Amino acid sequence: MNKLGFALVGCGRISKKYTEILSSQMEEAELTAVCDLDREKAETTGKKFNVPFYGDMHEMIKEQDDKIDAICILTPSGNHAQNVVDLAGYGKHLVVEKPMALTLTDADRMIRTCDQNGVKLFVVKQNRYNLPVQKLREAVEANRFGKIVMGTVRVRWCRKQEYYDQDAWRGTWAMDGGVFTNQASHHVDLLEWMLGEVESVFAKSSTALVDIETEDTGVAVLRFKNGSLGIIEATTATRPKDLEGSLSVMGEKGTVEIGGFAVNQLKTWNFLDQTEEEQEQVLAQYRENPPNVYGFGHVAYLKNVVDTIHHKNTALVDGLEGRKSLELISAIYESIETGKEVFLSFTPQKCRLGLQNHE
């Protein structure tokens, strides 16, 4: 199997995971070029990993065309949509960090443009590959829970003012969104992945401890189409340090709780039909992601990207799948602005997320 060449657009904070993985942790892929509007950032990254670096993504692709099979878009969230639209015409498959876009209009534009150009669009949801999450998904698909009663996610993280001050786009409606869009987007995705389509949502938020446009704290109550209820609790106002990123599912026949900082520790595995031996075995085997593997979920996700491209399979999270959590997040903001329960599917009217990016 030939190695696939990956180029990076954006050399900010998240790029460190990609450079480490693509340069040394995947036999089936390699890092071939990097780009950033801040050419110094691109130069630092390129020299560190001995690959060409650029300050313009079009120049990068034209000069490295034969070495690039896929492009990872790691720019600020508000730029994702335009980056995809601008790059799709080159015929390279596109991997986009979360959230895929800040408006549903932009998400639809991305999906449509990639389809028209015959390229695959991958939306990064690496926590789906966490070992405890995979085991929970297996239980859901096997109907181990019977009737699911409730699902809950908690994101209790610490992001102080200096975090938001690192870049002017952080905590803005036009380019970033708040805790629901940024820090909790993976958890929102996992809750939907486990419990299915959402019927309605009612939400509240506040900006408690930092000076930003968007929220640092919020709660949302969900009703799913299967009748189950959901709770999303998200904050970056935990002090003095991070506490948890958790997911729990409760049903008539069992309960599973995944905790840790990033839904990576299996804490509870209880089913009516299980043996004591099964419980011990599952907890031992799936208790936690390997602690010494850097970017565990990203490695697994990028392996899926490679496999999908090579074998023309369906991606675990393509554009349509990635759009689902964006629609729910948009509905959460719509509810916050209107003070009303919002039913999905819907067309945003008051949601401020990505406001300046509306066409």
> Alpha carbon of 257 to those of 126, 152, 155: distances in Å?
19, 9, 14
pTM of the model: 0.94
Task: Identify whether residues 69 and 155 lie together within a single domain.
Answer: no
Residue 3 is classified by DSSP as P
Answer whether residue 194 is part of any domain. yes
Answer whether residue 356 is part of any domain. no
pLDDT of residue 312: 82
Answer whether residue 344 is part of any domain. no
Q: How confident is the model at residue 48 (pLDDT cuts 50, 70, 90)?
A: very high
Answer whether residue 346 is part of any domain. no
Distance CA 358, CA 78 (A): 11
pLDDT of residue 39: 96
Mean pLDDT, the chain, whole residue set = 95
Task: Identify whether residues 19 and 157 lie together within a single domain.
Answer: no
pLDDT of residue 2: 83
pLDDT of residue 358: 41
Task: Identify whether residues 285 and 147 lie together within a single domain.
Answer: yes
pLDDT of residue 185: 96
Task: Identify whether residues 314 and 226 lie together within a single domain.
Answer: no
Task: Identify whether residues 100 and 182 lie together within a single domain.
Answer: no
Domain encompassing residue 15: 4-125+298-318
CATH code, domain carrying 220 = 3.30.360.10
Give tens-digit pLDDT for 5-31. 999 999 999 999 999 999 999 999 999
Answer whether residue 355 is part of any domain. no
Q: Find the DSSP H helices in the chain.
A: 15-24, 39-49, 57-64, 80-87, 104-117, 131-141, 161-165, 185-195, 276-286, 296-311, 319-338
Answer whether residue 347 is part of any domain. no
Task: Identify whether residues 120 and 164 lie together within a single domain.
Answer: no
Report the share of the chain in percent with pLDDT over 70: 97
- Residues 57-78 have a mean pLDDT of 97
Q: Give me the residue label for tokens 């945003």.
A: 348
Question: Regarding predicted confidence, which is higher, 282 or 355?
Answer: 282
Task: Identify whether residues 267 and 150 lie together within a single domain.
Answer: yes
pLDDT of residue 196: 98
Give tens-digit pLDDT for 244-258. 999 999 999 999 999
Give tens-digit pLDDT for 123-146. 999 999 999 999 999 999 999 999
Task: Identify whether residues 176 and 81 lie together within a single domain.
Answer: no
Task: Identify whether residues 271 and 314 lie together within a single domain.
Answer: no
Task: Identify whether residues 84 and 191 lie together within a single domain.
Answer: no
Sign of CA dihedral 188, 301, 353, 36: positive
Give tens-digit pLDDT for 285-342. 988 877 655 568 999 999 999 999 998 888 899 999 999 999 999 999 999 999 999 9
Answer whether residue 345 is part of any domain. no
Q: How confident is the model at residue 357 (pLDDT cuts 50, 70, 90)?
A: very low
Task: Identify whether residues 191 and 221 lie together within a single domain.
Answer: yes
Task: Identify whether residues 199 and 302 lie together within a single domain.
Answer: no
Distance CA 338, CA 71 (A): 38
Name which of 165-174, 230-239, 350-359 the model is least confident about.
Answer: 350-359
Answer whether residue 228 is part of any domain. yes
Distance CA 197, CA 12 (A): 34
CATH code, domain carrying 62 = 3.40.50.720
Q: How many helices (H) and strands (E) does the chain have?
A: 11, 14
Domain count of the chain? 2
pLDDT over 70 (residue 1): no
- Residues 92-108 have a mean pLDDT of 97
- Residues 160-173 have a mean pLDDT of 96
Give me the sheet containing 217-224, strands edge to edge. 265-271, 254-259, 244-251, 148-156, 229-235, 217-224, 198-206, 342-343
